[in-house]
Homo-oligomer: A and B are copies of this chain.
Amino acid sequence: MMPDNNPSQPSLTVRELPEMARQIRRDLMKMLLLSKSGHSGGPLGLSDIFASLYFHIMKVDPARPTMPERDYFFLSAGHLCPVWYATLARRGFLPIEELSTLRKINTRLQGHPAPAYTHGVPGIEIASGALGQGLSIAVGCAIGLRLDKKPNRVFCLMGDGELDEGQIWEAAMTAGHHKVDNLIGIVDRNFCQIDNRTDKVMELEPLPEKWAAFGWHVLECDGNDIEQFIETVGQAKALKGKPTVIIAKTFMGKGVSFMEDNYKWHGMPPNEEQAKQALSELPPTKFGDFIEFEWEKASIVAEVKA
C-alpha cells in the first residue's frame, strides 16, 4: 500500500470499508492460528471500528507514522492489539507478511503493544497491556496538544471490562475537569470480559450515566455498523466544551458464528479446524490474505476438481 499524499483524505470510501473489515477478520484468524495464543473475541468485534478509524476517520500517514499533524490513537486495552496490528499492516505501517510473527520471539508484534521506539510497531505511541492506563495517557496527550493550540484529535479505545479499573475514572474526572474536548473515548461495549459477561463479573450499568456524571458528552452506537460508527464520530467531533465518549456496542467474536457474543473467546486462538470454519464464514476479499495455508491450496484444488 502506498503512503498517502494527503493524509487528511480517507484512504477508503465508506462502501469499501466492510470488505476491509472482513479482510482484517481473516487476518486475525490466520494470525491467531499461527501464534497459537492470543485474543480472538475482542479483536473480531472491533474490526469494523479499526477499519473505520484507520481507513476513513483518522489523519495518519504510514510513511510518516510520527508526522506532527497525525491524530493520536491509544489502545488502552492492549490485549486487543491483534486487530490493531492487522489494521496497521493493511494500512501500510508494516509489511503484511509480518502478521505471521504475532507473539513469537523477536517479533515487533508483541502479545501486548510495545511502543515503536523500543521494539514495537510504527504508529504505536506507547505501551499498553496492563489495563486502565490508556485514558490517562490520552488525556495528557490531548492537554499537551491543546497547550500548543494544535488541531490534532486524540482517540482512546477502552474495553468495557477495563472500566472496572478505577484509573479510568480518575482519567475521566481529569478530562471532565479540564474540559478536554479534543479527545474522543470509545468504549468497546461487548458485555464480555474474561470470566463471564460483564454484568456477572462487575455490573457497569447504567454506563452512560456514569460517563455523564464524570463530565462527558455521551453518544451510543452500534460498533459493528460502520456507517453508524462513522456518523457517531462525526457527531462527537462537533461536540464542544467536554470530552466525548462513544459507547460502541459490539459483539465479541463478530463475524465468526461460533465465537459471537461468547465471552469464552476472550483470550483463545482458534485451532486449525476452528480457523477453517471461521475463514469459510469470512469469504476472501480483493485485498488478499497475508499467507495461504497448505490446506487452503488443497481446498481450492478440491473446489476446482469438484
Contacts and interface: CB of A to CB of B under 8 A. Distances in A.
A170 B176 contact: no
B213 A213 contact: yes
Contact of A210 (B164, B165, B213): B213
Interface in A161-217: 164-170, 173-174, 176-177, 202-204, 206, 209-210, 212-215
Given A164-B173, A206-B213, 12 more contacts: A164-B170, A166-B167, A166-B169, A173-B202, A173-B204, A174-B202, A203-B215, A209-B212, A209-B213, A210-B210, A210-B213, A210-B214
Nearest to A214: B210
A85 B174 CA distance: 34
Interface of A: 164-170, 173-174, 176-177, 202-204, 206, 209-210, 212-215
B203 A177 contact: yes
Contacts of A177: 202-203
A199 to B, nearest CB: 9
A218 to B, nearest CB: 11
Contact of A203 (B176, B204, B209): B176
Contacts of A174: 202
A212 B213 CA distance: 9
A236 to B, nearest CB: 21
A164 B210 CA distance: 15
Contacts of A173: 164, 202-204
Contact of A166 (B166, B202, B203, B210): B166
A177 B205 CA distance: 10
A165 B206 CA distance: 21
A215 B205 CA distance: 8
Nearest to A202: B177
A170 B170 CA distance: 10
Contacts of A169: 166, 169
A214 B204 CA distance: 8
A63 to B, nearest CB: 39
A306 B16 CA distance: 96
Contacts of A165: 166, 170
A167 B206 CA distance: 19
A132 B114 CA distance: 31
Contacts of A167: 166
Most buried by B among A166, A202, A210: A166
Contacts of A215: 203
